[in-house]
Amino acid sequence: MRVLVLNSGSSSVKFRLLDPEDPAYLVNGIIERIGESGSRIRVFFDDEEIEHVTDIPDHKAGVIAAFALLSESGHDPRHSNIVTVGHRVVMGGDLFTKPVVVTDKVLDAIRELSYLAPLHNPANADGIAAVRIALPDIPQVAVFDTAFFADLPEPSRTYAIDREVATRYGVRRYGFHGTSHDYVSHRVAEFLDRPYESLRQIVLHLGNGASASAIAEGRAVDTSMGMTPMQGLVMGTRSGDIDPGVMTYLSRAAEMDATDLDHLLNRKSGLRGLCGHNDFRELTDLVEAGDPDAVLAYEVYLHRLRMYIGGYLMLLGGADTITFTAGVGENAPKMRADALSGLEWFGIEIDPERNALRSKQPRIISTDSSRVTVLVVPTDEELLIARAALSVTQ
């Protein structure tokens, strides 16, 4: 039973054809620069890559062109035994706390939630609408990034602002990267052969976007992202936590409006804002070369990360596991060692040899005597979305 998974952004759509029972079957693709010049589609399967450069004015045109390219490579989604299509949708608000089959009403609601996620939900909805036209007889399922955090305890999801304003405008912590935190935390329990509910877990999803979560008794009890994916850790281009007073100050002192502030905090901040580079590999090279801006960026990144780890150890009353995942978390051993150095008092001891090992498999990087088990677990959001789509349609 094959599943098509789509992750639609405003100017790109990543897609994957997969079979949850057969890891050997995998076709990846990306539609890039939608609505811009130089748009193209690339499809990867086995060891091959094919590319098609063509004019792609919108998501619908992109999906049609992608299907044509998939067909050329022998993977036409109309004839690939696809039983369902899973879509990543960033914001489910209070409405969607589980994966749902997309109906006209659901699609309208996803669009209506755009006021809470203006950069993401419109693109997610466009991707769904495009596939509904291309594959009208196949059920589509929306899987929400916020769903894993829908049940956050009240004190964790509530901002200390005027209740009436918060309620009227939906101002609260929603959390993001939920599919990754969900997948990774369950994979940890499976890998350690421990009941999910028995573990106090800290999951660190460190990619270009970054978030941490604390999980206990089978549910998320806190996460670092908030009402928007801007809160929390230092990210590639996003600031993470910042004094909210900075916004009002800059709006007066620098006459920045909402769009300027959005751009500053989403695109010109984080590692890029501090040293000009958001790619962690480039940052690491510059740190090794002693570049002072890069060294400061790295230290700010670690400082914030350690603050969250400390906070979560407190919230959970100690942790059974700390898990690194996503591009940086899976591939930057020095960062992992620095993030958890000097924490022997908390029962956290990294084994340098285990930490240095490169692998695509889940693995333990703490010592045998470490009271907290530290792991690296590669995330697989697409697999979770595929399984979720199958679970509501089959």
Nearer to ligand ADP, 297 or 316 (CB): 297
CB of 145 to ligand ADP, least distance (A): 12
- Of the candidates 233, 311, 302, 305, the one whose C-alpha atom is nearest the C-alpha of residue 269 is 233
What is the pairing mode between strands 82-89 and 2-8?
parallel
Helix (H) or strand (E) holding 65, with range, is: helix 59-72
Q: What is the 3-state secondary structure (H, E, C) of 180-246?
A: HHHHHHHHHHHHHCCCHHHCCEEEEEECCCEEEEEEECCEEEEECCCCCCCCCCCCCCCCCCCCCHH
Please state whether beta strands 26-32 and 140-144 pair in parallel, antiparallel, or not at all (unpaired). unpaired
Which is the catalytic residue, given 94, 104, 108, 145?
Answer: 145
Give 9 or 99: the residue with its C-beta nearer to ligand ADP. 9
* CB of 180 closer than 8 Å to CB of 109: no
Minimum distance between the CB of residue 239 and ligand ADP, rounded to whole angstroms?
15
CB closer to ligand ADP, 2 vs 88: 88
Among left, alpha and beta (phi > 0; psi -120 to 50; other), residue 42 is beta
**Among 13, 73, 18, CA closest to 40:** 13
Footprint of ligand ADP on this chain (CB under 6 A)? 207-209, 236, 279-281, 284, 326-328, 331-332
Residue of closest CB approach to ligand ADP: 327
Report the run of H or E that residue 390 belongs to, with start and end. helix 381-393
Pairing status of strand 373-376 against strand 100-101: unpaired
Nearer to ligand ADP, 163 or 281 (CB): 281
DSSP string, 353-375: HHHH---SS-EE-B-TT-SSEEE
Min separation Cβ 105 and ligand ADP, Å: 30
Question: Alpha carbon of 30 to those of 12, 68, 139: distances in Å?
Answer: 7, 13, 22
Pick between residue 84 and residue 325 the one whose CB is nearest to ligand ADP: 325
- Report the nearest approach of ligand ADP to the CB of residue 133 (Å): 27
Task: Report in angstroms how near the CB of residue 373 gets to ligand ADP at its nearest.
Answer: 22
CA separation for the pair 96, 52 (Å, rounded) = 36
Q: State which residue, 77 or 333, has the beta carbon closest to ligand ADP.
A: 333
CB nearer to ligand ADP: give 98 or 334. Answer: 334
Q: How far is the CB of 180 from ligand ADP (least distance, A)?
A: 9
Closest CA to 21 of 390, 325, 381, 362: 390
Is 145 catalytic? The answer is yes
Smallest separation, CB 298 to ligand ADP (Å): 12
Coil, helix or strand at residue 68: helix
Catalytic residues: 145
